[in-house]
Structure 1
Amino acid sequence: MTDATLEPIIFGENHLSIEDVLAVAERRAPARLQADEPFRRHIARGAQFLDTLLDREGVIYGVTTGYGDSCVVAVPLSQVEALPQHLFTFHGCGLGKLLDAEATRAVLAARLRSLTHGMSGVRIELLDRLQAFLEHDILPLIPEEGSVGASGDLTPLSYVAATLAGEREVMYQGQRRSAAEVHRELGWTPLTLRPKEALALMNGTAVMTGLACLAYARANYLLKLATRITALNVVALEGNPEHFDERLFAAKPHAGQNQVAAWIRQDLAIDAPAQPLHRLQDRYSIRCAPHVLGVLADSLGLLRQFIETELNSANDNPIIDAENERVLHGGHFYGGHIAFAMDSLKNLVGNVADLLDRQLALLVDTRYNHGLPSNLSGSPAATAMINHGFKAVQIGASAWTAEALKNTMPASVFSRSTECHNQDKVSMGTIAARDALRSLELTEQVAAATLIAANQGVWLRQREAAARPLPAPLADMRSQLGEDFPPLIEDRALEAELRLCLQRIRTRYWRLYD
């Protein structure tokens, strides 16, 4: 359950941030609907305006017409009430894995925010029920595959519409249950979706946007973790700290690149008395780490802008302008900005995987690790010949990196004409978002491997007679890592430790830079 003492996230007229969605998705803060009467009247006005149009038998896409290519098919008023159920019913064809709990909450949050604009023609009761789903943690079981990202996330969002109507299945209190059963248990009456309400729920970008919020947060933490890993590896490899000199980076003033260099300087305490240099120039995966990671750092602002603008938009079709009594037909369900953001993120994250994989390759190779034992094994001489340390871990990291790099192919350029060529140019935004999360998963695995190896490398270096004390940030990190990851002396299976490290990464366990 969420902590009731935490400040709630208000869904209404206010701007929501990625962090707001993350707080709801992780159950760290409750979701509340704006409660003042002017807001509730504003929402109600859209549904009331639609009712007046129906009384005048106005032609409204998806209300008095069929959907998509079938927009030329008139729906008589006697069938208008049945149309929403047909929409979520025939879209019940999703396949693939189910979205996990965090992703599902992020989807519900993104859809709720879009509908709070009051430009979708839905009742306030529908918003209340969506908020109640979040409050009680009733999570529609949403298959992740089946959306081309325009007309929005129709098929996955049909599972939200259907469960609000008491159909299909939800996860509730750790159990897979029928939505109808959960409604009965809570004393609720399932919603009978009114004209436009199923379309308003489904014809938008909530799945790709919710997933993009999660991906952004993971990438932001990964940036800082990769920077800390680099600093540890500078120590383990006896690197040249002058590569991160402030005057050097003033000559090429990309803000994010300079921030990464500053973090590394902070970790290495470069303002302390200079250490003797072991070499003039380190290999690129060390020397150019700020230049690689800086691209991600500098891109996060643009990605945030794209994601948060989409999150805080009315993105279904048609748009109901009740104030001016107009129905505006357009294409706001198109997820092009999210598709670009997530395709870009895949590229950025793939480069982080490649950087860390190259650092790990240096650590285990006696030709390049400047005196560390082969494969970072800590075994004594008597058993050195049968111990192989991080040899297999490096192979695994190489495999994960290769898959992350293969995954950088942009999804958005693979638009497919669908639905009798009505949807003849689509965004593929949801596939891009799913790809980005997979790339992050793989890169986090590389980061886990490289972090544990870097920890081992620093431990080995610190055993040397001439070793200098670690700077405070790295000493503190080593102390925390030591609680979970003891030195590798004799070979042991490292899967459990890698999985624990992944858990630490995904929960942002280590505080990294302020």
Structure 2
Amino acid sequence: MAEHDLNGAVADTPGMTAQRVVIGGRRLTIEDVVAVAHRRAAVSLNSDPAWRARIQRGADFLRQHLASGATVYGVNTGYGDACVVEVPMHLVEALPLQLTRYHGCGMGDYLDNEETLAVIAARLNSLAYGFSGVRPVLLERVADLINHRVLPRIPSEGSVGASGDLTPLSYVAAALVGERDVMFRGALCSAREAWRALGHEPLTLAPKEGLALMNGTAVMTGLACLAFARAAQLARLAASLTALSTVALDGRAAHFDALIFEAKPHAGQAEAAAWIRADLAGRTDTPGHRLQDRYSIRCAPHVIGVACDALSWVRRDVENELNSANDNPLVDPDSGRVLHGGNFYGGHIAFAMDSLKTAVANLADLMDRQLALLVDDKFNNGLPRNLTGAAPARAPINHGFKAVQISSSAWTAEALKHTMPASVFSRSTEAHNQDKVSMGTIAARDCLRVLQLTEQVAAAHTLATVQAVQLRLKLNGATMIPVPLQRFMSTVAGMSAFVDEDRPLEPDLRAVTASIAAGGLMAPTDGAAA
């Protein structure tokens, strides 16, 4: 559909809904950033004249402050350890472009489109806070990057998380000035070509605008928003797979009685137990079963609950960072001050991502242990070895989910390995000016990798558990499958058929993993971790 951009022009945004996220003068949520990243929303700058006037006052005040002979870091001084170097006035206008250029040294995989959009949205919101001394036109052009899908190619490696995400964000700044390559209308082209196609000239950065774009935590924060959303989905899915595993193993729903969780009042585990009870609604335990199921079933709410409770404070810290002025120096036109500080330091995001990746890896371990019970005929209460669905005459040569469980174990091990905290690996850099750094962007990238691996484990567990319930129905025709779980199984069956004869399951696993990552394979009952 067609969307109007900030200057009244029409932008082509195929597949986008009419939803808009307003930037400036309001608090953004993680969900706002995720909506922008997944192309469910465009962005608009706040139309309030008072907010727009304040942005302009910041830029005007900075100009006046410089004209009075004041010294402002990164505006008429060198950068970092070179802050003692005075920049002559005739070079001040050229300084921002130099910053963008010498930081063009990123390496590693490029951020994907969703990650890039999340990063740009986070940077735009910080600049719109009104303490960065940038012009309104800069905010308009950053919004254009989102609405017109002019997506910088941002290398994922090269940031130590203080002084912010300098190197990766240099690719955003470079795109604005018409340098380096961007993805535009589905193809790789130069940034200058993209702006020409949109009828704009590349931006000439004003003093401090290069620094304002680059000196902040937008990369780690944008990635953290995406990580939060995926972790919340996984927590809910792990609860549903626990319920489904309980049915498949002919286990006990009584382990999730509400009174148990009232007696140990962690909100997260009570929420997880409530999800499992909802998914098992109407199921009663059969007398004579094993009195207590194994820990990976019985204690599942206690494992999932840690992730749920972590998500509550992770949201707080990520959204505080998202809604902050996190560059340096800060420019306050109302008090007439320039404040030199360290808001670019990404410590809160670093710790949040280090913690979240550990909670998520524990979900991988939980699901892998449940899967191990399902495939092992010594523990699965009568199901076929490796969940093979082959006819008896063909059973000796069929191995069902044997290799899937091996792969799941490999993915789980790698996820657990990545839980080494990044935030403790500060390195002194830049002539010992940046002598204590956050490593927040590395922590966020690690968290996303743990999420990817855990989603693969969840896909394996999903396929195996649906197979196991179908086999249970063949064994015990009267087995009661609660309606929520029936709906869940039907959704999965649309992506992967029952495995009777062995077949390569990679296509099925990839389809289910992609659906989990995108939020398409949702839990069978309403609710989400928050």
TM range (shorter): over 0.9
1:317 shift after superposition: 0.2
Residue by residue, what CA displacement relative to the aligned partner does 1:203-260 show, whole Å, maximum 9, x if unpaired? 0000000000000000000001111111110011111111111122211111110111
1:186 correspondence with 2:198: yes
1:361 shift after superposition: 0.6
Amino acid across the alignment from 1:188: H
Q: Closer, same or farther in 2 for the Cα pair 1:4/1:293, shift >3 Å?
A: closer
1:97 shift after superposition: 0.5
Whole-angstrom CA distance in 1 between matches of 2:332 and 2:225: 28
Contact 2:237–2:522 (8 Å) recurs in 1: no
Whole-angstrom CA distance in 1 between matches of 2:28 and 2:188: 30
**Partner residue, 1:160:** 172
**Partner residue, 2:463:** 452
Contact 2:516–2:522 (8 Å) recurs in 1: no
Query: What SS class does the counterpart of residue 44 from structure 2 fall into?
Result: strand
1:125 correspondence with 2:130: no
Query: What SS class does the counterpart of residue 475 from structure 2 fall into?
Result: coil
Amino acid across the alignment from 2:104: G
Residue by residue, what CA displacement relative to the aligned partner does 1:168-223 show, whole Å, maximum 9, x if unpaired? 11100110110011111211011110110000000000000000000000000000
Contact 1:12–1:113 (8 Å) recurs in 2: yes
Instruction: Please give the TM-score of this superposition, normalised by the length of structure 1.
Output: 0.98
1:291 shift after superposition: 0.4
1:486 correspondence with 2:475: no
**Partner residue, 1:393:** 404
1:432 shift after superposition: 0.1
**Partner residue, 1:22:** 34
Whole-angstrom CA distance in 1 between matches of 2:287 and 2:246: 14
Alignment of 1:36-435 (within 5 A): 36-269=48-281, 273-435=284-446
Query: What SS class does the counterpart of residue 102 from structure 1 fall into?
Result: helix
Contact 2:19–2:40 (8 Å) recurs in 1: no
1:468 shift after superposition: 2.1
Query: What SS class does the counterpart of residue 79 from structure 1 fall into?
Result: helix
Is there any run of 5+ residues in structure 2 with no aligned partner, and where? Answer: 1-12
Residue by residue, what CA displacement relative to the aligned partner does 1:53-82 show, whole Å, maximum 9, x if unpaired? 121121000001000000000001011001
Amino acid across the alignment from 1:306: D
1:496 correspondence with 2:492: no
1:415 shift after superposition: 0.2
Whole-angstrom CA distance in 1 between matches of 2:337 and 2:247: 65
Whole-angstrom CA distance in 2 between matches of 1:13 and 1:84: 27
1:466 shift after superposition: 4.7
1:267 shift after superposition: 1.1
Query: What SS class does the counterpart of residue 274 from structure 2 fall into?
Result: helix
Query: What SS class does the counterpart of residue 167 from structure 1 fall into?
Result: coil
1:264 shift after superposition: 0.8
Q: Closer, same or farther in 2 for the Cα pair 1:66/1:125, shift >3 Å?
A: same
Whole-angstrom CA distance in 1 between matches of 2:123 and 2:519: 26
Contact 1:307–1:338 (8 Å) recurs in 2: yes
1:118 shift after superposition: 1.2
Whole-angstrom CA distance in 2 between matches of 1:306 and 1:393: 37
1:436 correspondence with 2:447: yes
Whole-angstrom CA distance in 2 between matches of 1:4 and 1:496: 28
Query: What SS class does the counterpart of residue 463 from structure 1 fall into?
Result: helix
1:335 shift after superposition: 0.2
1:375 shift after superposition: 0.4
Instruction: Please give the TM-score of this superposition, normalised by the length of structure 2.
Output: 0.95
Q: What is the alpha-carbon root mean square deviation over aligned residues?
A: 1.1
Q: Closer, same or farther in 2 for the Cα pair 1:273/1:131, shift >3 Å?
A: same
Percent identity between the aligned chains?
A: 60
Whole-angstrom CA distance in 1 between matches of 2:178 and 2:23: 23
Q: Closer, same or farther in 2 for the Cα pair 1:311/1:403, shift >3 Å?
A: same
Number of aligned residue pairs: 513
Contact 1:139–1:171 (8 Å) recurs in 2: yes
Contact 1:2–1:30 (8 Å) recurs in 2: no
1:471 correspondence with 2:482: yes
Task: State the 4+ residue runs in structure 1 displaced beyond 6 angstroms.
Answer: none
1:265 shift after superposition: 1.0
Whole-angstrom CA distance in 1 between matches of 2:22 and 2:462: 38
Q: Closer, same or farther in 2 for the Cα pair 1:341/1:459, shift >3 Å?
A: same
Query: What SS class does the counterpart of residue 371 from structure 1 fall into?
Result: coil
Contact 1:240–1:277 (8 Å) recurs in 2: no
1:42 shift after superposition: 0.6
Contact 2:472–2:479 (8 Å) recurs in 1: no
1:273 shift after superposition: 4.8
Contact 1:363–1:369 (8 Å) recurs in 2: yes
Contact 1:2–1:29 (8 Å) recurs in 2: no
Whole-angstrom CA distance in 1 between matches of 2:169 and 2:408: 36
**Partner residue, 2:3:** none
Whole-angstrom CA distance in 2 between matches of 1:142 and 1:343: 22
Amino acid across the alignment from 2:396: M
1:36 shift after superposition: 2.6
Whole-angstrom CA distance in 1 between matches of 2:188 and 2:219: 21
1:276 shift after superposition: 2.5
Query: What SS class does the counterpart of residue 320 from structure 1 fall into?
Result: strand
Q: Closer, same or farther in 2 for the Cα pair 1:78/1:302, shift >3 Å?
A: same
Amino acid across the alignment from 2:408: A
Q: Closer, same or farther in 2 for the Cα pair 1:2/1:331, shift >3 Å?
A: farther
Contact 1:24–1:30 (8 Å) recurs in 2: yes
